[in-house]
Chains A and B, each alone.
Chain A
Amino acid sequence: MRADTPHDLSLHRLRKIEIVTRAEDQHLVAGLLQTAGVGGWTMIRDVAGMGHAGFHQGKAIFNDASGLVMFVGVGEPAVIADVAKGLAGLFASLPGVTFLSDVEVLRSDYFARAGSA
């Protein structure tokens, strides 16, 4: 899918998924992204914020598995929908939130399904 913009940039419409989860659960989320075929993602460690259980501390010096992490992935709508479906099962028993949105990217080949690029 391509979208023209007022600035004559050639942009591609894709879907974005943002996932905030406990750092100790990051392997589960990474595994799902991989299984669904998301070619790559960004992970932001030490995410702080307010939630149902109160304020979550961000930084833990000696423990990568403490606190929250955020994943940001972009892909074809079907791939991102597949991830969301898997996450629905995970987050039925684990804490975590997911945001889905439409995005436009410059280089669609960066976000091709793993193995298909």
Chain B
Amino acid sequence: MNMMSAIAAPEPTLSRTEVAGLVALAARTVPPLWPLESAIAVNPLAGFEEMPFEAALRHGASLFGARASLPLAQWRALLAEGRIDTRCLRDAAIGHLGGLYRARAVIAPGVTTLDLLMARLLHLPAGDSADAPPLAAPPMPPDAAFIAKWCAAFFDQGLAASPMPYRELGLYRAVLAIAGHDPAFHALAPGAGGQLLMTVAREPLSAIAEGLVALGVADTAAEAHLAALVARLPGWAGHIRWRCEYTDTDIAAGAPASMADLLALWLLLERARALTGAESGAGDQPRDTPPPHDATPQLAAHFGLAELAAHADNNLTRIATMDDNALGALFLTAAEESYANALVPQLQASAPAPAATAKPAAQLVFCIDVRSEPFRRALEATGAYETLGYAGFFGLPIALHRCGAARRQRRLPVLLSPRHDVTEAPLPGQAHTAAHLAAAATRDAQAKRLFAGAKQGIATAFATAEATGPLAGLLMAARTLAPRLTQRISAWVSPSRDAVLGPALGQQPDGYAHSPFILADKIGYASALFRLTGLSAATARLVVLVGHSGSAVNNPYAAALDCGACGGHSGGPNARILAAMLNDTAVREGLAARGIALPASTHFCAAEHNTTTDALMIFDRAAVPASHADDLARLEGDLARAGDANRARRAGLLGRTPQDVLTGALHWGEVRPEWGLAGNAAFLVGPRWWSQAIDLAGRAFLHSYDWRTDEDGTALTTILTAPMVVAQWINCQYLFSCLDNDRYGAGDKTTQNVIGGIGVVQGNGGDLRVGLPRQSLFRDDGTPFHVPQRLLTVVLAPLARVEAVVAANDILARLFGKGWVHLVVVDPTTGRARRWRRDAAPDTEGARPIDITLA
């Protein structure tokens, strides 16, 4: 490589458009990373879903330096707890060995191939470093630290006392303008680095094209080279993807940044280091694969057969050199089979439709979230209630403009863009209180700004601490020692926002082009509830649409406890909007014209289930007719009983008392207010009566569906291509965050700091952390609470209909065919279960799906 030619800007071989294409492809190495205020679960390997699951796991492990399995000791702990069936592990081992005949091949007297493998799975020490206790993360290489530092400064959302200059130029150019003054840059590239800063192209795509030539990267290797660079800081790269693809343009206005900016910076550093002869900084990626460990001596000792060590046998060598990731893959299969073998036969047995039942006292439509299921079961136990599952945004693609908020909130799945902007307005008779609330909110915001400015000011910092310290100390003591009392006092001083303000359907926020709801929209969204869930038009007197949210204080991951279908926000506003639509006389007439004639006696209510406390709040009580007051009072009593029961159940899982769970929801020091969606394992598509008798233990997403009212498969297509995809993202986030909490997860929550208002870092800097923290997945003793396993989707519908839907939708063919989601179809008339066959899997029957094999 010629130093002068590199400084003198070599002639690029790729056009800007070609580079743009390469950058776009490389960007897919990481998924988008949503900011804390609207945290959304994503599959960290989403960019590799075109690959078979196992290949993607290996590729991700290599690219991100991640582990591909839980440590063996943790798998064994799950087995010892009975959460994995030993018979399923044995079956997985037999499958791995190529069948029973080969598994029974004798290696030594009384020792079969299967014995060897089971010994490695169950008894022998781990073969590689995967079982070693987690070490402190190695320090970030200086080049990555340099870029991470400037990303943190550039993407700051107004928290920094001194904003980074030149942000309006874009990330790359802003850093170019500053790097010359940064000793870290000169340490990275002494001498020639400064010259390069002066001569390098100013436009990111041109700089990348130039950099690739200067570094001698062949055009054919350019995409892989760029992808490897994207993978070095997956958090910041994911944040850039979110800014570019999933947010409103005003957030990025004034500080534009694209993946090309980030890659241009990486190539700048690579060029600078090449010029100065410094070594590559890729010290953090990937983890080198250690040479295969040979467990033959341990196997010989385990079976008391000294001659085994001298025995030359292919099977022995194959088993003795399996690494812990390969052994872990068998545990993963066993975990999935253990769960399926317990669940699917129960679903087969309950497949035939029951005789018609009496009209329920009330119907409640919950979010599909796994946390709804145990609450629904507890409520059903209290009386004649019918519950249904529907996507928690209730089919409304909205952005909500909350009073006093600077930006709109996207309250819809990230798979959709908002089509309606909804603002808030005072409820009838609440205008005066609303004005007070607005004034108080303005005062609070001003006080916070003033305090932040005084706290960060060089001249005012100490005086501020002295002046406000005693008061802050008292408040902290109150929030520490009596958080529930503090909250009650706070609630007494300030009225509930939801009792004063509500979404206004007919009022459009200023300056937004999105159309308000017209009657046809309202009828469409109202009818979707019936079409997609199979809810009959013969509704009960009271139908309650139940959104959900979590409660957490001083918790950067609070949004992760809210509704994923609502973009990481609470689901109450969406429920209120759809309930208002369904109570609208004109909408009822429109529904009747579509064949959905609702009884005049039906009233729709909105509510919100707090998944941390199991309290359920009813909205807009004033709108409930007096004729329905008794119905509502009865229901509320039963909801309170159901909440108590579910809270007691959850408290047991958390190892606490129910009262302590309530305290945790308000305590600023609480690291695990609830288990969230930990344990998620299944996605059931069918009517509630199908699963009602089964204790699903809060591990199943439940989407109501009636195949009898969906002849063309439209509803099933919608359910599988949207809610199930969101469930798969959640499932994969939990799965991978559990397999390697350091790389795919966020690590220990207690040592994190919020940065820029957008994410968290470990310690005081570095990459934005992706995935879930350790406390969301593991118990305090380090054993996994979440069992890592892929989603099992079970559909109650005729096989031909499911086949047609999967064949017509690439995304489904990919998820099921490549092994990212397991699909089982239960025939509604015979109860026969069929499992979807993966691409290239042995086809024993000549048909695409094969019969499920159940123990």
The interface of chain A, by Cβ under 8 A from chain B, is 22, 24, 27-28, 31-32, 35-36, 53-57, 59-67, 82-83, 85-87, 89-90, 93-94
Contact = CB atoms under 8 A, between A and B. Distances in A.
Closest 8 CB pairs of A and B: A62-B722, A86-B17, A57-B808, A35-B20, A28-B24, A89-B21, A63-B722, A86-B21
Interface string B1-41: 00000000000000111101110110000000000000000
Chain B interface size band reads 20 to 34
B717 interface: yes
B208 to A, nearest CB: 12
Give the secondary structure class of A's interface: mixed
A27 B24 contact: yes
Interface stretch (B131-139, B295-303, B413-421, B652-660): B413-421
B15 A63 contact: no
B721 A63 contact: yes
Q: Which of B20, B244, B808 has the most CB of A within 10 A?
A: B20
Nearest to A48: B808
A62 B20 contact: no
A64 B24 contact: no
Contacts of A94: 25
Contacts of A63: 413, 415-416, 718, 721-722, 725, 811
Contact of B809 (A32, A57, A86, A87): A57
B391 interface: yes
Contacts of B415: 62-66
B556 interface: no
A83 B17 CA distance: 7
10 contacts: A27-B24, A31-B24, A32-B20, A55-B807, A57-B717, A60-B721, A61-B395, A61-B718, A64-B415, A86-B18
Given A61-B528, A63-B415, A90 B25 contact: yes
B205 interface: yes
Contact of A62 (B21, B24, B395): B395
A56 B805 CA distance: 10
B117 to A, nearest CB: 38
A93 B29 CA distance: 14
A35 to B, nearest CB: 4
Contacts of B16: 35-36
A90 B20 CA distance: 10
A53 B717 CA distance: 18
A7 to B, nearest CB: 36
Nearest to B413: A62
Contact of A28 (B21, B413, B528, B721): B21
B17 A82 contact: yes
Given A27-B24, A62-B723, A67-B809, 12 more contacts: A24-B811, A32-B20, A60-B722, A61-B528, A62-B413, A62-B718, A63-B415, A63-B725, A83-B17, A86-B18, A86-B20, A89-B22
A31 B205 CA distance: 12
A89 B244 CA distance: 21
Given A54-B807, A54-B808, A57-B809, A66 B17 contact: no
A90 B18 CA distance: 9
A89 B18 contact: yes
A55 B528 CA distance: 25
Contact of B718 (A24, A55, A60): A60
Contacts of A32: 17, 20-21, 24
Contacts of A27: 24, 244-245
Interface string B340-363: 000000000000000000000000
Contacts of A59: 714
A27 B809 CA distance: 20
Interface of B: 15-18, 20-22, 24-25, 205, 223, 244-245, 391, 395, 413, 415-417, 528, 714, 717-718, 721-723, 725, 807-811, 813
B818 to A, nearest CB: 14
At the interface, is chain B mostly helix, strand, loop or mixed?
helix
Contacts of B811: 24, 63, 66
B526 to A, nearest CB: 14
Contact of B205 (A28, A35, A87, A89): A35
Residue from the set A32, A63, A87 with the largest chain B CB neighbour count within 10 Å: A63
Nearest to A64: B416
B810 A53 contact: yes
A62 B721 contact: yes
Nearest to B414: A65
Contacts of A57: 717, 808-809
A74 B444 CA distance: 52
Contacts of B725: 63, 66
A70 B22 CA distance: 21
B135 to A, nearest CB: 36
B413 to A, nearest CB: 7
Contacts of B721: 60, 62-63, 66
B24 A60 contact: no
A65 B24 CA distance: 16
A28 B808 contact: no
Contact of B416 (A31, A35, A53, A62): A62
Contact of A82 (B15, B24, B722, B809): B15
Contacts of B416: 62-64
A31 B395 CA distance: 29
B365 to A, nearest CB: 16
A28 B415 CA distance: 16
B47 to A, nearest CB: 11
A61 B22 CA distance: 31
B722 A66 contact: yes
B732 to A, nearest CB: 16
Nearest to A60: B721
B25 A28 contact: yes
A54 B807 CA distance: 8
Nearest to A34: B20
Contacts of A53: 810, 813
A65 B722 CA distance: 9
A24 B807 CA distance: 18
Nearest to A89: B21
A98 B395 CA distance: 34
Contacts of B718: 60-63
Most buried by B among A22, A62, A63, A85: A62
A93 B20 CA distance: 15
Contact of A22 (B223, B395, B807, B810): B810
A82 B637 CA distance: 67
Given A35-B16, A35-B20, A60 B25 contact: no
Contacts of B528: 61
Contacts of A83: 17
Contacts of A61: 395, 528, 714, 718, 722
A55 B805 CA distance: 11
B417 A90 contact: no
Nearest to B812: A66
Nearest to A62: B722
Contacts of A64: 415-417
Contact of A85 (B15, B723, B808, B813): B15
A83 B15 CA distance: 10
Contacts of B21: 28, 32, 86-87, 89-90
